[in-house]
Amino acid sequence: MSLLVMKFGGTSVGSPERIRAVAARVARAVADGHQCAVIVSAMGHTTDELVGLAAEIAEQPDRREMDALLATGEQIATALVAMALHETGVKAASFTGWQAGIQTEPVHGAARIEAIDASALVSSLHQNVVPVIAGFQGIAQGAVTTLGRGGSDTTAVAVAAALRADRCEIYTDVNGVYTADPRLVQNARKLMEISYEEMLELANLGSQVLHPRAVETAKRNGVALVVRSSFSNEEGTVIRDMATMERLRIVTGVACEKEVARVALLGMTVSHHHLADIFSALAQASVNVDVIVQSVVKTGETDVSFTVSEGDVARAVDICEEFATRLGCQEVKQETGLSKISIVGAGMISNPGVAAHMFQALAAAQADIKMVSTSEIKVSCIIAADSLDAAVQSVHDAFSLAE
Ligand code: ADP
Ligand code: ASP
Ligand code: MG
pLDDT above 90: residue 273: no
Kindly identify the ligand whose nearest atom is closest to the C-alpha of 13: 1
Residues 158 and 271 in one domain: no
Beta carbon of 111 within 6 Å of any ligand 1 atom: no
pLDDT above 70 coverage of the chain, percent: 99
Q: What is the CA radius of gyration of the chain?
A: 23
Residues 161 and 264 in one domain: no
Residues 15 and 132 in one domain: yes
Comparing 102-116, 205-219, 259-273, 352-366, which segment has the lowest mean pLDDT?
259-273
Per-residue pLDDT reduced to its tens digit, 160-200: 999 999 999 999 999 999 999 999 999 999 999 999 999 99
User: Which protein residues have a CB closer than 5 Å to ligand 3 (ion)?
Assistant: 9, 150
Give the C-alpha separation, 22 to 8, whole Å: 8
Of 128, 148, 173, which residue is a domain's last?
A: 173
pLDDT above 90: residue 249: no
- From the list 259, 150, 138, the residue with the least C-alpha distance to 211 is 150
Q: Quick one: pLDDT at residue 283?
A: 92
Please give the distance, rounded to the nearest whole angstrom, from the Cα atom of residue 291 to the centre of ligand 2.
Answer: 27
Tell me, what DSSP letter sits at residue 386?
G
Q: How far is CA 368 from CA 358, 363, 386, 396, in A?
A: 12, 7, 11, 17
Atom of ligand 2 nearest to the CA of 74: 1
Of 173, 202, 217, which residue is a domain's last?
A: 173
Per-residue pLDDT reduced to its tens digit, 342-369: 999 988 887 889 999 999 999 999 999 9
Q: Quick one: pLDDT at residue 318?
A: 92
pLDDT above 80: residue 272: no
Instruction: Give the residue, 348 or 339, on which the prediction is more confident.
Output: 339
Q: Quick one: pLDDT at residue 300?
A: 81
CA 252, 256, 260 angle in degrees (round to 5)? Answer: 150
Q: What is the mean pLDDT of residues 200-207?
A: 96
Nearest CA to ligand 1 atom 25: 177
Atom of ligand 2 nearest to the CA of 9: 7
Going by C-beta distance under 8 Å and a sequence separation of 6 or more, which residues neighbour residue 117? 101, 103
Containing domain of residue 274, as a range? 254-398
Please list, residue by residue across 210-236, b when 16 or more beta carbons sit within 10 angstroms of its beta carbon and e when fewer do: bbbbbbbbbbeeebebbbbbbeeeeeb
Question: Residue 86 in contact with residue 19, Cβ under 8 Å?
Answer: no
Does residue 209 fall inside a structural domain?
A: no
Q: Quick one: pLDDT at residue 194?
A: 95
Question: Residue 322 in contact with residue 281, Cβ under 8 Å?
Answer: yes
Q: What is the mean pLDDT of residues 144-152?
A: 97
Does residue 224 fall inside a structural domain?
A: no
Local confidence band at 271 (pLDDT 50, 70, 90 cut-offs): confident
Nearest CA to ligand 2 atom 6: 150
Local confidence band at 248 (pLDDT 50, 70, 90 cut-offs): confident
Ligand 2 pocket mutation pick from 43, 147, 149 by most atoms within 8 angstroms of CB: 149
pLDDT above 80: residue 306: yes
Atom of ligand 2 nearest to the CA of 48: 4
SS3 264: strand
Does residue 234 fall inside a structural domain?
A: no
Please give the distance, rounded to the nearest whole angstrom, from the Cα atom of residue 8 to the centre of ligand 3.
Answer: 9
Number of H helices, E strands in the chain: 11, 18
Give the C-alpha separation, 185 to 219, whole Å: 28
Does residue 12 fall inside a structural domain?
A: yes
Atom of ligand 1 nearest to the CA of 12: 3
Q: How far is CA 89 from CA 31, 82, 284, 326, in A?
A: 11, 11, 53, 71
CATH code for position 32? 3.40.1160.10
Give the C-alpha separation, 389 to 385, whole Å: 8
Q: Which helix (H) or strand (E) holds 282?
A: helix 274-284
Local confidence band at 322 (pLDDT 50, 70, 90 cut-offs): confident
Kindly identify the ligand whose nearest atom is closest to the C-alpha of 152: 2
CATH code for position 270? 3.30.2130.10
Q: Quick one: pLDDT at residue 268?
A: 85
Residues 9 and 125 in one domain: yes
Does residue 186 fall inside a structural domain?
A: no
Ligand 2 pocket mutation pick from 13, 46, 47, 147 by most atoms within 8 angstroms of CB: 47
Does residue 403 fall inside a structural domain?
A: no
Residues 20 and 158 in one domain: yes
Q: Please give the mean pLDDT across all residues of the chain.
A: 95
- From the list 170, 2, 24, the residue with the least C-alpha distance to 86 is 24
Looking at residue 297, its amino acid is V
Residues 27 and 153 in one domain: yes
Q: What does the DSSP assignment read for 170-191?
A: EEESSSS-BSS-TTT-TT--B-
**Number of domains observed in the structure of the chain:** 2
Beta carbon of 342 within 6 Å of any ligand 1 atom: no
Q: What is the mean pLDDT of residues 320-334?
A: 87
Beta carbon of 236 within 6 Å of any ligand 2 atom: no
Does residue 228 fall inside a structural domain?
A: no
- Length of the chain in terms of residues written: 403
Q: Quick one: pLDDT at residue 184?
A: 94
Beta carbon of 333 within 6 Å of any ligand 1 atom: no
Burial of 299 (0-12, 13-18, 19+ CB in 10 A): exposed
Q: Quick one: pLDDT at residue 159?
A: 98
Q: Quick one: pLDDT at residue 46?
A: 98
Per-residue pLDDT reduced to its tens digit, 86-101: 999 999 999 999 999 9
Of 173, 190, 224, which residue is a domain's last?
A: 173
Residues 15 and 160 in one domain: yes
Beta carbon of 154 within 6 Å of any ligand 1 atom: no
Q: What is the mean pLDDT of residues 35-63?
A: 97
Does residue 192 fall inside a structural domain?
A: no
